Structure 1
Amino acid sequence: MTISTLPEEPGTCIYRRVFPGHSDQIGEVRQFLRTHLGGHPSAPNVTLVASELTTNAWEHTRTGSPSGTFTVEARQRADNTIRLEVHDNGGPTGFGETNLDKEGGRGLGIVAALTVAWGVSGDATGRTVWAEFKP
């Protein structure tokens, strides 16, 4: 387990951990975020969005393969905003390409509703899905 608390700029901390790409790690992600962001007003939303994004990484990318991993990073800035990032192992399709109208695509609608912005970067070799939260 790797947990980093790194100053980026004055008043900003980054909490980062690499998880095995197993479904039982979704609960570990929630606990990790509660431990580090528990007092933040957006912590419940960050935790819910992280559950959705890590589940999608596990289900829709190489992260769910036997040797797969994913990384969760929460950046708490001096202005009390939070940026959540989930880095996956990529694959032929990505969870950012999920159709919001299809069964099973509702989670990204939740992500959109609980964040001020979110997006996807990367390609079949690895993707990052990020989400921004205000207090």
Structure 2
Amino acid sequence: MATQRDGQQLQIRLDPGSSIPFYRQIILQVEMAIADGRVTTGYKLPTVRGLAVDLQINPNTVAKAYSELEIRGLVSTQHGTGTFIGEWSPEPSDVDRELLLSQLVHEFMSHVGSYGFTLDDVRAYLDEKPAKDGAK
């Protein structure tokens, strides 16, 4: 499930197989979009209802994510206008980064698993890849 706004600036994907609740997945992805510069101060997030429809989830889930983002000072909500990225952009915490990495690895393994690859196949490839490319 994904939603995009203004091209590729913000894309939110939810992984139903993840142990991370949907509202946390939304928070983590907005934080990472802020941290890597895909969204900047003043960027308008999708409406709660619009994002919920796009992601096929309950609007209360999106509202909870937006509320937590607002408590953290990452976004501000202007009633009748929308929710906007705030003035400052802190780096995500180590815990948040670990949760996001876990989600990304889970999505990746689900995808490669659909082609019949195993974790051992991926490990073997990664072990060989630096030697082939001269990368570290």
TM above 0.5: no
TM-score (norm 1): 0.29
Larger Rg: 2
Give the structure with the larger strand fraction.
Answer: 1
Query: Counting helix residues as a fraction of each chain, which structure ranks higher?
Result: 2
